Amino acid sequence: MNIFNKKPFLIGEIGVNFYDIAKEEEISDMEAAKLMIREAKKCGIDAVKFQSYKAENTVSKNSPAYWDLSEEPTTSQFELFKKYDKFGEEEYRQLADYCREIGIMFLSTPFDFESVDYLDEFMDVYKISSSDLNNIPFIKYVASKNKPIILSTGGSTLNEIKQAVRAIEEVSTVDIAIMHCIFSYPTNYEDANLLMIKDLAENFPEYEIGYSDHTKPDLNMFVLTTAYSYGADIIEKHFTLDKSLKGNDHYHSMDPNDVLIFRTNISFLSKIRGMKNKQPLICESSARREARRSIVVNKDVKKGEVITEEIITFKRPGSGISPARIDEVLGKKAVEDIPEDTLLDFDMLS
């Protein structure tokens, strides 16, 4: 079963980027979050996603950084999480209400049990981060809410993914979307490994497959477009209004212009994809008739003469007898005189 009806379903992960936008625009954090939601809606994003946690519940104080320190200089995971954990239940409830008001889906990834509980009151689909893929007790707790789950798989083996999926299935029968993801910020293009999308589809044919991207947006949005063409029905990528901002996620986020390019690509793809089953099209009718070959006599043929391989050839147009039916022609006799270069017709033969 599919979680979303639209393909591709595009999730713009605002995450914690709104805090930096607030500083740049000199507005409140809430105003910045709502501004980003409006811009996401305007450029064609289907859902916005945030991150819900408190640092104390998520990371120990001695956890080192694993991101690009030239873009985000904070060397402690705890310090970074603490920097961006100002919002809680009431703020995210307000954002969920605002999303409903303007017609875009609200999502937030919970990173602790408390967030799972309060998000359940106003969120319809859960997202589990790659960082929690081996956190089986947490996965089962999320599954106990009996809502569809989007499962990111960055840094995971196939067996670990299967274990996580089994954990969900042990608790619930909810729909699951499995997201190819590379757990590297930013992901180098040569590390994107988009063919893994097809591998996930082969190993989990009963579940929807998607792609969560951490590459820097390429000029033509080929990474996301290729991911969709490879079978990712759900596309997730960080979203910002200013990719030049220093900070945790801006440097590998898409902006509204990137979204518009991606949507244009998808529109073009839908135009050229067409039907799966090979068959002649109406637009090919003229060429099929005029550019194919027919059986033609290469000399004047007298009435009563036997048609042999020596006196026939194959020429355009294709409106005569097809060369594929040559066995039905050889050995027949001409019932009339047939001039050289004539397309044979069965009425001429007996």
Handedness of CA 254, 213, 117, 84 (dihedral sign): negative
Quote the distance between the C-alpha of residue 146 and its chain's center.
Answer: 25
Instruction: Please report the pLDDT score of residue 120 as a whole number.
Output: 98
Complete domains list, the chain, with CATH: 9-273 (3.20.20.70), 290-348 (3.90.1210.10)
Residues in Cβ contact with 257 at an 8 Å cutoff, skipping those fewer than 6 apart = 43
Report the C-alpha gap between 24 and 304 in whole angstroms: 94
Taking the whole predicted model, whether its pTM rises above 0.85 is answered as yes
SS3 79: helix
Helix (H) and strand (E) counts for the chain?
Answer: 12, 10
Element (H, E) at 315: strand 312-315
Residues in the chain, pLDDT under 70: 67
Nearest to 258 by CA among 218, 226, 228: 218
Distance between CA atoms of residues 240 and 31, nearest Å: 14
The span from the CA of 179 to the CA of 208, in Å, is 9
d(CA 320, CA 215): 57
pLDDT number for residue 75:
78
At residue 80, the pLDDT reads 75
Q: What's the pLDDT score for residue 67?
A: 67
Distance CA(114)–CA(85), nearest Å, equals: 13
pLDDT at 60: 81
pLDDT for res 100: 98
